[in-house]
Structure 1
Amino acid sequence: MRTLLAIFCPFLIILSIYLGDLQAVVIDLGIDVLVENHFHGLEAKRIGLITNRSAVNKNGISTIDLFFHSPQVKLVALFTPEYGLYGLEPMKKNGSYVDSQTNLPVYPLIGDDLKPTAEMLQNVDVLVFDLQDIGSRSFTFLSTMGLAMEAAAENGKEFFVLDRPNPLGGERVEGMPFDNHFRSFYSEWDIPYIHGMTPCEIAVMINGENWIFKKPKLTVVPMKGWDRSMLWKDTGLSWYPPSPYLPNEESPFYFAISSFLGISPEIDNGIGTAFPYKFIGASRIDPYFFSRQMNKRKIPFCYFRPIFYWSFFGKFRDRMLGGCQIHIQDFSKVKLVEIGLHLLQELMMELNQEPLASLNADQMEFFDRFCGTDEIRRGFLSGKRIQEIVESWDSYIQNFKEKRKKYLLYSSQPLTQ
């Protein structure tokens, strides 16, 4: 068996490097750069890999397989974020188990163990993070990364981050702002709701801004060929869903618009349908009137189509809902957070304020923590205009843009070869 592995490993790695010539991929991911550099810095070390099956190289070969079959490193443990190792489990799973494919222990970083414990790290020399983030603060992968960085430092372990594109691009920065009073796993770092940064850039910022109590020895492995103007479609990469609710490369845009709306017990955001985050509805909405009112708002680069639909699971299971399907017409120019605010405002008007007024104490706390601020809830209930709310974020956004400059690893224009 060892002989077969020794023969197969070099073939797998060579294949992962040179198959790119047959595809339209225009960038090298962090994992590609690491393999090309023969796992430099990780040689002969015991690796704990924080990943899931959405983390692949530019040719679709799993990061897990590349580490597991490499003779240069020793993969000893797997750590998984929300949605599990295969990125398909809709329910949170607590407790370690053994992966049937690699026979390695798997530690879910969710529930009671949001960061690795000393026991989990006992046989690990280096933690390596390779996950596909989606560019919105409330998506928990970057929270997992920073907390794991802190755990690595507390236990004397090194930390590597392998970079991946921000699907929303590196230039888009939008509210909602971060308020430390509402810090949670869904809003862990002092970054806007849409931050325009990559995992490596955020990791360097976490260390540089002292956002964790103890900082690890950090190594980042940037991409080659990516620039800040690129959306996912510009990279030539295939999309591998990091969660069951992000099925294609457009999904991160719709997540940024509507993920926070689904916290309200009165609003459905498409979870439980084939169009998560693209459908917005409620059980007492006339879809034709609602869509007409939304289109009257003349939101640039966005159109709303009336729909009736059923939800197959979740809080509206087996109930007929009315609402709209969101259609983004220009992904590079549309203002994502503002669309979500307009949808919420219209729903509040048509449902007599119930989407927010009906929240119980736990739902209210979760809504505010997910948003990273209570300004949305309080502003809408007090009748503030959307423009007034958005303009109040300007100083935070400008300060963040200035602060992040020293942590950016990529230019805003394509690099000349």
Structure 2
Amino acid sequence: MRKISVLLIILFINYGYTAQTVLPGIDVLVRDNFRELSGKRIGLITNSTGVNKDLISTVDIFLNTEKINLKAIFTPEHGLRGSKSAGEYISSEEYKNIKVFSLYGETKKPTKEMMEEIDILVYDIQDVGLRSYTYITTLGMAMEAAAENNIEFVILDRPNPINGHKVEGPPLDTLFQSFVGYFPIPYVYGLTPGELGSFINEEILKPKGKKCNLKIIPMEGWKRTMNYNETGLLWVPTSNHVPDSDTPFYMAASGILGELNVVSIGVGYTLPFRTFAAEWIDPDLLADKMNALNLKGVKFRPISYKPYYGKWKDVVLNGVQFYITNKDAANLLLVQFYFMQVHNELYPDKNLFALADSSRIKMFDLVMGTDKIRKAFIKNYKVEDIKELLTEGLDRYKSVIKKYWIYK
């Protein structure tokens, strides 16, 4: 028995095994015998991430019980199976004789005609915890449609993979509202889908007279300090370039810069969101300069690689791969700006914003949620010039969202 116990400890240390501690909302719903949905006509907003703890899809769970009358399925960007590329137009289809309406095609908001046979809209999608990920825009638009058509809205809650405390970046300036930034929340917003839904309902829809009849099916066992690896749940890729639950941290650290499309952040290679690389960079020099900054929770190593697809297919790129060694200590958004600062010191003739198309600069601002940060940064390419701007409005946001917390 002692040998077995020692073996289990070794396995835990070596492989980071975590016992399953969290029940997602779908599992709570099933355990409670579909109480909130029984006998109602249901429209389900979901995709491949909508699964229970055993990876059985919510669609199939609903189809295989007499308690649920599933009338329609609605899908966000990337489609029902998650197979579509970012930004790819998605048409409506059918799945097992159920109509599947695309909310990333001709319409991005459920229409009255789509919902004419529906009593309750149910939302079950895993998010990444970042404002620019379009699933939460779909959530808000669907809630608004439910309010306008007097349809109940139910969110089956899921973990925020980053955690429920980390908040970074200023709340979105509504002048920069778009599908990649729809709500006045920070870039890293620190809420679960259920909590975010409550925030949207009370802070955004209610003042417009569009508050919906919202119900949350909470998780069990989730705590605000947890990142996804600590939940014991298995990760389903939320889209093509988010293969594991660590990727959202890296997306926050490189994805805004990636919108410029002038240096590679690893998309097109095996390290999406984990690199800063270009043809002209000296990888050893860049790694030395980045590590010399002593950024909390982040380390860098030189790397050269050849992307398999995308803009730099078959081109040898040089730069750094970065590692988030302390998820709580790292200031994620600043990592990409520190790279741009060092890059400008080393290669002043390769001005990253001057190299970018105007459309890509516009996307940078939309994803950032303002143009103030870009305009302040490019004056001197110094992180110190934008630190205060990156925290504007955060104290108020943190104070407001506490009343929508479901979990401690």
Tell me if TM exceeds 0.5.
yes
2:337 to 338, 341, 358: 341
Distance in 1, matches of 2:360 and 2:160, equals 30
| Aligned-pair identity (%) | 40
Shift of 1:211: 4.2
Q: Which runs of 5+ in 1 are unaligned?
A: 1-22, 412-417
- 1:47-58 equivalences under 5 Å are 47-58=42-53
Amino acid at match of 1:67: F
Q: Which residue of 1 aligns with 2:356?
A: 359
- 1:15-414 equivalences under 5 Å are 24-90=19-85, 92-99=88-95, 102-211=96-205, 213=208, 214-352=210-348, 354-383=351-380, 385-411=382-408
**Do 2:71 and 2:98's aligned partners in 1 also have CA atoms closer than 8 Å?**
yes
Amino acid at match of 1:222: P
**Do 1:189 and 1:211's aligned partners in 2 also have CA atoms closer than 8 Å?**
no
Shift of 1:209: 0.5
Shift of 1:259: 1.0
Distance in 2, matches of 1:74 and 1:303, equals 51
Is the partner of 2:380 in helix, strand or coil? coil
In the TM superposition, what whole-angstrom CA distance separates every residue of 1:41-75 from its partner, at most 9, and x where no partner exists?
Answer: 21121111111111211122111111111110111
Change (3 A) 1:256 1:231: same
Return the TM-score normalized by structure 2: 0.91
**Do 1:163 and 1:199's aligned partners in 2 also have CA atoms closer than 8 Å?**
yes
Is the partner of 1:292 in helix, strand or coil? helix
In the TM superposition, what whole-angstrom CA distance separates every residue of 1:82-124 from its partner, at most 9, and x where no partner exists?
Answer: 111112322523321112xx22121221143111122221222
Distance in 2, matches of 1:347 and 1:181, equals 30
Is the partner of 1:377 in helix, strand or coil? helix
Shift of 1:136: 0.9
**Do 1:176 and 1:193's aligned partners in 2 also have CA atoms closer than 8 Å?**
yes
In the TM superposition, what whole-angstrom CA distance separates every residue of 1:306-335 from its partner, at most 9, and x where no partner exists?
Answer: 111111112222211111111111223221
**Do 1:175 and 1:390's aligned partners in 2 also have CA atoms closer than 8 Å?**
no
Change (3 A) 1:194 1:294: same
**Do 2:79 and 2:90's aligned partners in 1 also have CA atoms closer than 8 Å?**
no
Change (3 A) 1:348 1:264: farther
Distance in 2, matches of 1:176 and 1:392, equals 7
**Do 2:92 and 2:100's aligned partners in 1 also have CA atoms closer than 8 Å?**
yes
**Do 2:91 and 2:105's aligned partners in 1 also have CA atoms closer than 8 Å?**
no
In the TM superposition, what whole-angstrom CA distance separates every residue of 1:177-225 from its partner, at most 9, and x where no partner exists?
Answer: 3111111111111111111110000100011102474222111111111
In the TM superposition, what whole-angstrom CA distance separates every residue of 1:347-370 from its partner, at most 9, and x where no partner exists?
Answer: 344443522123333222211001
Number of residue equivalences: 387
Shift of 1:382: 1.1
**Do 1:96 and 1:106's aligned partners in 2 also have CA atoms closer than 8 Å?**
yes
**Do 2:373 and 2:389's aligned partners in 1 also have CA atoms closer than 8 Å?**
no
Distance in 2, matches of 1:210 and 1:265, equals 33
In the TM superposition, what whole-angstrom CA distance separates every residue of 1:225-254 from its partner, at most 9, and x where no partner exists?
Answer: 111011111111111111110111211111
Q: Which range is displaced more, 209-218 or 81-90? A: 209-218
Distance in 2, matches of 1:348 and 1:407, equals 42
Is the partner of 1:342 in helix, strand or coil? helix
Amino acid at match of 1:363: R
Distance in 1, matches of 2:135 and 2:344, equals 31
Distance in 1, matches of 2:284 and 2:170, equals 30
Is the partner of 1:281 in helix, strand or coil? strand
**Do 1:301 and 1:328's aligned partners in 2 also have CA atoms closer than 8 Å?**
yes
Amino acid at match of 1:75: L
Shift of 1:404: 0.7
Amino acid at match of 2:204: N
Return the TM-score normalized by structure 1: 0.89
Q: Which runs of 5+ in 2 are unaligned?
A: 1-17
Change (3 A) 1:103 1:344: farther
**Do 2:24 and 2:218's aligned partners in 1 also have CA atoms closer than 8 Å?**
yes
**Do 2:344 and 2:381's aligned partners in 1 also have CA atoms closer than 8 Å?**
no
Shift of 1:384: 5.7
